[in-house]
């Protein structure tokens, strides 16, 4: 539980979402016999931007900054982990019946968290080995200046507007 407490420190508070992300990430790391990624040897594809993703970052070492955390805005508590050395990928989701258990109004928030942290893995997470193409390694793009606001922006996130290279916010502002 020591590492869960450290995940809580990283996230800022203990909550069911963090606990679930913790259990799901631990399951993936155990499956790959992997430790926290130092670089891009492990890739996480997350399908939400909620509390559990902080557990993914903390435990797995997959981060936006390193380019090995990929966000797909599907609103699902589902995480896919790709292990480059083995070429294997697993998709981890919460078992539907467990969700029902958590929604019982008779149990407190702390009891929910404890239930998530102590339930046997086979009763809480569904692990499916899947085939996906190897995720691309992160790219380093040139930085340019927006020709309207003069702020730095990575080249691949610019738009052309009346022959000028502009950032997305300036582009949207001018289009409205």
Domain 2-130 coded CATH 3.40.50.150: no
Taking the domain 143-175, which CATH number applies? 3.30.60.20
Q: Where in the chain are the domains?
A: 2-130, 143-175
pLDDT of the chain along its 176 residues, tens only?
679 999 999 999 999 999 999 999 999 999 998 788 899 999 999 999 999 999 999 999 999 999 999 999 999 999 999 999 999 999 999 998 887 778 888 899 999 999 999 999 999 999 999 999 999 998 888 999 999 999 999 999 999 999 999 999 999 998 87
Distances (CA, A) of 84 to 19, 107, 171: 26, 41, 37
Supply the pLDDT for residue 1: 63
Supply the pLDDT for residue 23: 97
Per DSSP (E only), the strands in 47-157 are 69-71, 78-83, 88-94, 125-130, 143-145, 152-154
Residue burial 88-116, b: 16+ Cβ < 10 Å; e: rest: ebbbbbbeeebeeebeeeeeeeeebbebb
| Contact between 47 and 76 (Cβ < 8 Å) | yes
Supply the pLDDT for residue 77: 95
| Contact between 174 and 166 (Cβ < 8 Å) | yes
Supply the pLDDT for residue 102: 80
């Amino acid at each position: 539980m020591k590492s869960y407490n450290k995940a809580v420190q990283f996230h800022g508070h203990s909550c069911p979402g963090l606990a679930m992300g913790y259990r799901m990430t631990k399951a993936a790391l155990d499956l790959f016999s992997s430790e926290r990624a130092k670089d891009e040897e492990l890739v996480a594809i997350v399908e939400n931007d909620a509390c559990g993703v902080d557990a993914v970052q903390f435990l797995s070492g997959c981060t936006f900054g390193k380019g090995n955390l990929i966000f797909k805005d599907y609103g699902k508590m589902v995480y896919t982990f790709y292990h480059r050395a083995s070429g294997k990928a697993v998709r981890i989701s919460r078992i539907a019946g467990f969700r029902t258990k958590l929604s019982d109004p008779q149990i407190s928030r702390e009891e929910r968290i404890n239930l998530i942290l102590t339930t046997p893995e086979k009763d809480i997470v569904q692990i499916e080995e899947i085939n996906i193409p190897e995720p691309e390694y992160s790219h380093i793009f040139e930085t340019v200046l927006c020709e309207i606001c003069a702020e730095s922006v990575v080249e691949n996130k610019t738009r052309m507007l009346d022959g000028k290279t502009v950032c997305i916010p300036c582009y949207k502002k001018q289009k409205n």
